[in-house]
Amino acid sequence: MKIYKAANYKEMSRKAANILSAQVIMKPNCVLGLATGSTPIGTYEQLVEWYRKGDLDFSEVTTVNLDEYKGLPVTNDQSYYYFMHQHLFDLVNINPVNTHLPNGMEADSEKECRRYEELIHSLGGVDLQLLGLGHNGHIGFNEPDEAFEKETHCVDLQERTIEANKRFFASADEVPRQAYTMGIKTIMHAKKILVIVSGEDKAEIVKKAFFGPVTPKVPASILQMHNDVTLVADEAALSEVIR
């Protein structure tokens, strides 16, 4: 595992964007695995800036996203489809046909998970997968469990996740209870993995995930077994492991 320390969130975002842009430049028709949430926003902003300067071309790039809420239409501003278009897809020259997320409106979970898994295989797999890191070590919606989830699956969201999401919706009834997510096996099949982490509140889980035992109780710990993982984190997030 390669670890790059950044001074702050902005520098972390720039370093991560450098790695992603290098992948696009080296292989213009690459398959990027993308993540949502607050952490990658700065990385996407940097990629957009370089695109606008003429330094990046996304015309041949294909993307597959980690996850999507089940039951949310793409028009909902809390859907990950909406997020990706807002922060990246609508701001660069990527072909919309080449952007893929799980279909949150597919009611048949087994059918949708099989479709998404087959799609990733048909693309030849993911060249570079971007990941964030949850406070409990989750990656995607793979929460702490007794075993590592294998492939794309439908997960029941934990109560604390539902509770945390209530502020984004007009009523509690609108908050999604399930989500589709790539499984650990799907993530581990990516040729390269890039993890980005920011903030002192993540320092303890960084230590557990990357310097502790490999256990499904800390889902991200499985990344220690991958042969090409890069961790880009700011000083605060690395404060428990690098002085």
Bridge-based pairing of strands 99-100 and 62-65 is parallel
Active-site amino acid positions: 67, 136, 138, 143
- Three-state SS sequence of 24-40: HHHCCCCEEEECCCCCC
Chain center to CA of 71: 20
Residue indicated by tokens 């520098």: 11
Answer for the pair 142, 35: CB distance below 8 angstroms, yes or no. no
Nearest to 194 by CA among 15, 9, 16, 14: 16
Residue indicated by tokens 């809420």: 69
Residue indicated by tokens 């997020």: 83
Q: Which residues does 89 contact at the CB level (< 8 Å), separation at least 6?
A: 63, 96, 99
